[in-house]
Amino acid sequence: MAEALERRAFTPEIEARTASIYEKVKAHVPRAEWQLLAPEIDAINRLKREKNAIVLAHNYQTPEIYHGVADIVGDSLALARRAAETDADVIVQAGVHFMAETSKLVCPDKTVLIPDARAGCSLASSITGADVRALRERYPGVPVVTYVNTSADVKAESDICCTSGNALKIVKSLGVPRVIMIPDKYLASFVASQTDIEIITWEGACEVHERFSGDEIREYRDAIDGLTVIAHPECPPDVIEASDFAGSTAEMISYVKDRQPERVLLVTECSMSDNIAAESPGTEFMKPCGLCPHMKRITLSNIRRSLETMTTEVTVDPAVAERARLAVERMLAVR
**Contact residues for ligand 13P (CB under 6 A)?**
59, 75-77, 149, 163-165, 206, 234, 248-249
**Cβ nearer to ligand 13P, comparing 43 with 230:** 230
Contact region with ligand SF4 (CB under 6 A), list: 86-94, 278-286, 288-296, 297-305: 288-296
**Cβ nearer to ligand 13P, comparing 164 with 228:** 164
User: From the list 38, 57, 70, 96, which residue makes contact with ligand SF4 (rule: CB under 6 A)?
Assistant: 96
Cβ atoms of 224 and 286 closer than 8 Å = yes
User: What number of helices (H) and strands (E) belong to the chain?
Assistant: 16, 12
Residues 6+ apart with CB under 8 A from 138: none
Q: Is 295 in the site for ligand SF4 (CB under 6 A)?
A: yes
Helices 318-333, 97-106: inter-axial angle, 10-degree rounding: 90
**Cβ nearer to ligand SF4, comparing 70 with 142:** 70
Q: Is 206 in the site for ligand SF4 (CB under 6 A)?
A: yes
Q: Is 208 in the site for ligand SF4 (CB under 6 A)?
A: yes
Question: Strands of 245-246's sheet, edge to edge?
Answer: 245-246, 227-231, 263-267, 284-286
Minimum separation from the CB atom of position 331 to ligand 13P (A): 12
Query: Side-chain half-sphere of 10: how many Cα atoms within 13 Å?
Result: 13
**Cβ nearer to ligand SF4, comparing 64 with 269:** 269
Minimum separation from the CB atom of position 114 to ligand SF4 (A): 13
Residues 5 and 204: their CA atoms lie apart, in Å, by 36
Residues 256 and 252: their CA atoms lie apart, in Å, by 7
Q: Which residues on adjacent β-strands are paired with residue 263?
A: 227, 284
Given the rule CB under 6 A, which residues bind ligand SF4? 96, 121-123, 149, 206-208, 234, 269, 292, 294-295
